[in-house]
Amino acid sequence: MSVKFFDLEKDEFIGSIAYNHWNLFTPNLLDFHNDDERLEVKDKQNNIVFSIIYEGVGVWISGYFIDSKSIIVMPNDPKKSKTGHPLCLLKTDASWKQKALDEIVVIKSIF
């Protein structure tokens, strides 16, 4: 399993996770925090790019994930998001970035 992180604003490569190894490029991100049960990555605009929390009953993942054709936004509190569920937008939509940002800003920090 692996995932790459990109900044929403400039589409800069922030880092990646491959299995249990992660690499973050600090010049391209605002901050990150981790401990034995949580990891959180923030972009330069203070948005949550990636958040994972391990709790005894499962793993909770939230953030936004960009590839060459689309973006997926996974809220950590679906009740506060406009859609109430993960959002997938194609980059062919002229307003994809603003629609994604509207959902991303409701993702709250775990630290």
Sort residue 26 into left (φ over 0), alpha (ψ -120 to 50) or beta: alpha
- What does pTM read for this prediction? 0.85
Give 1-37 pLDDT, tens digit per residue.
688 999 999 888 888 888 778 888 777 777 777 787 8
The 10 Å Cβ neighbour count of residue 95 is 10
Strands of 31-34's sheet in order across = 31-34, 38-42, 48-55, 58-66, 70-74, 87-90
Give 46-96 pLDDT, tens digit per residue.
999 999 888 888 888 999 999 999 999 999 887 778 888 899 999 999 999
The number of helix segments (H) and strand segments (E) in the chain equals 1, 9
pLDDT of residue 1: 63
